[in-house]
Structure 1
């Protein structure tokens, strides 16, 4: 590299760092000003959207696509730490991430509204994390006007993706380091619990990985379907991952209409390219890929355990 080129690269690097530093401090100032404004105005969030579904069902893809809507403020990241700060799971004996209506405490609606306003600058926000599906009654108690977007996926593919996810505890099990249990799943291959805790999880500490994932698929979707019974149908949207694979534009156009959101040309173009630039995909996106995977026999063995809830979700056979 010539001296001139070196100086140019060094100078460019310096100004890039300056720009990042200014942006960082600018964001801090904006958040501070929004906090002051919210403390003065104290307007609670208006019709927030919560994306719910089993982990690895396609919730991130749906969340990031809805986050493109101009009407919604989005952090474009998961919010486990924030919600856990309100109701730490360690304070609840590590039993479950589920929260019910009675867990909603005075002031929490305002705390949630303030948090999302500070980070997004909007009164209406969208949120997603892989534990909220267990807490729909709690979220509905906080925000009676909330809209829920339920993402569902066929059991074979969803369980296959859960199994793959369990091999990445550094991504999906960072929250469970202090779990007061010794895990020996799959004979000790898996030693950190991933995704979420649901009532009854401790019975699977030494189970096979497919049994654990079938349990998670069943318990999460059962909780969501049960909670749906108490939600006004006008505040509920469902989107099947398979429909997104078949025709993403049509699937999201229908989902946006159900949620009362506009679907413009920007969103249409975004949907046309999402399958070529997926979020958090471990391999090629396609339907029924579990059947040709190394997990096929394992999954076949546990499919009867989830047949009931799969039928309720609209998956038959």
Structure 2
């Protein structure tokens, strides 16, 4: 948050002795800081849903973590700020460390400031902001302009520890800022020597009921804020050397302002507008932000404004798994080349192929990556979108984009033959050795094939017609966790299925295309994700019931995580495959994180979306009831 001057020493003081009494944390409680800065560690005290994460406030309501529950006096400190408490944590800077200079210039910080309260420090520790510096003594309470470049220097051989509380502020907090000591005046840069009247923060036992945790609030920039930020961008561009393209930029900016105002008038601060705002930010990226490197500005204001707008819907600073358009084009070109290989190619016999069937984001990548290490199993190394939908009759466009549903009626003889051949030309063993790299004599004549593509939740009858002896593993994940993960995937923008989708008002559709998708145009992401989860599991249940019970089995995601060896052994017996020492080593410890994971696995991380998911639960009651009767869900 932009403040009028660099530093504010608030009129509050902590009882250091009381802090030291309850400051009982072990080395195991400290975790590496998310940005992996050498010498910097943290303990999370307040976070989205009270779990161990670094999500921004747009992700959900703030709650205390178990670490804060151990510190009643720290709660009183937060209460004394008289403002909504956002993310909060203890930060430790190792002796002899200087943190990198940084400016907090994303949207989360556009609305929030950081309050620093030193707990363990010494006079040699200095805090810098905009080139000016102060020593923050133990027990003092400081705010600073975190939109400016700032850093800390600890020249001693002792660690220093700060409590950091993020907050949007309040009228009461603004009054404290007005009373604060400002070591540097905004007009001259000289130090102030005035003192202030300081109030001690007392400890009141079992009195944390009035602490205001920042609530779940979907909040975007208003049209006025968009106007102000884009004006800064235009000012920078106008003063630069890009005069020839300035007019085009100005026109793009005016159109962006117009569309933002239109969307805001329709949705305001409501999650039903999330996809519309997401599209407009993507448009801003393409039409405006992409040209930001074309001008050499003396001011950082325009670049900071770009960062604020671009990061408006980001839920964290974590890097996302990414596959560039060039990589996708290369993969498609490679696939096309393989499919053109050798007209006399002999398709091997697929013996009891194994298909992992699940809703998207149910953990199928983790299960696939684990099973793919079995010595006799062959895979294509990834999902089968291009292989299946590359056959024109199987692409949704052949069915007017009604859905991804395929049945035995779609498994015409030439399609069966073509699909088997397309799979066969992509086969690779667990070491990544491709079948096509072998001589025709070395290639296997019979293969045990493993496949997973979440869209196949709607294709079981089709797959059974193509592969009559196919086996199906139904991987089930609880609705709360699965829907939350789907929401996270939609928000990441990294899982487009159809871009664009005819009849869909937004840039892209993510994950499987469910029957009736067109009715979701004005739905929130929670409603879309819930519908995808419901439809996927409904079709899976109904289609599997039509098959012999010996051709399918059920694995719960929670069991796979908690007892991986037991779950994999169940699958091995069902599918008739054997593991070796390599698989044994994998199962000896916790399963590795799957490559499509967006955030660190946690049993309770879905709770950041708990409020949104609660609203859609009534629509899921029928399918949940069926799952419970079948002893599938817990």
- Say what the alpha-carbon RMSD is for the aligned residues: 2.5
User: Greater CA deviation, 150-159 or 69-78?
Assistant: 69-78
1:165 to 485, 489, 493: 489
User: Greater CA deviation, 200-209 or 123-132?
Assistant: 123-132
Which residues in structure 2 correspond to 1:104-253 (within 5 Å)? 104-120=411-427, 121=435, 122=444, 123-169=447-493, 171-173=494-496, 175-183=497-505, 191-253=507-569
1:51 to 356, 371, 383: 356
Q: How many residues align?
A: 279
Flag the 1:145–1:90 CA change in 2: closer, same or farther, 3 A. same
Q: Which has the higher strand share?
A: 2
The residue number in structure 2 matching 1:69 is 374
Q: TM-score, normalised by structure 2?
A: 0.42
Give 5+ residue unaligned stretches, structure 2: 1-333, 428-434, 436-443
SS of residue paired to 2:357: strand
Which residues in structure 2 correspond to 1:28-43 (within 5 Å)? 35=342, 38-39=345-346, 42-43=347-348
* Structure number, greater radius of gyration: 2
1:307 aligns with 2:631: no
1:102 and 1:138 in contact (8 A); partners too: yes
The residue number in structure 1 matching 2:294 is none
Q: CA deviation at 1:272?
A: 3.6
Flag the 1:209–1:88 CA change in 2: closer, same or farther, 3 A. same
Listed one character per residue, the Cα deviations across residues 92-115 of structure 1 (whole Å, up to 9, x for unaligned) are 111100001111111222222222
Flag the 1:315–1:232 CA change in 2: closer, same or farther, 3 A. closer
Distance 2:368 2:591 in 1: 14
Q: Which has the higher helix share?
A: 1
Q: CA deviation at 1:276?
A: 3.9
Point out which structure has higher relative CO (alpha carbons under 8 A, 6+ apart): 1
Q: CA deviation at 1:53?
A: 0.4
1:94 to 401, 404, 411: 401
User: Greater CA deviation, 82-91 or 195-204?
Assistant: 82-91
The residue number in structure 1 matching 2:209 is none
SS of residue paired to 1:150: strand
Listed one character per residue, the Cα deviations across residues 74-125 of structure 1 (whole Å, up to 9, x for unaligned) are 1111110111122121121111000011111112222222222222234221
Q: CA deviation at 1:275?
A: 3.2
Q: CA deviation at 1:316?
A: 5.7
Q: CA deviation at 1:130?
A: 1.6
Q: CA deviation at 1:36?
A: 5.9
Distance 1:126 1:316 in 2: 25
Listed one character per residue, the Cα deviations across residues 179-216 of structure 1 (whole Å, up to 9, x for unaligned) are 112436xxxxxx42100111111000111111111100
The residue number in structure 2 matching 1:262 is 578
Flag the 1:99–1:182 CA change in 2: closer, same or farther, 3 A. closer
Q: TM-score, normalised by structure 1?
A: 0.81
Give 5+ residue unaligned stretches, structure 1: 1-26, 185-190
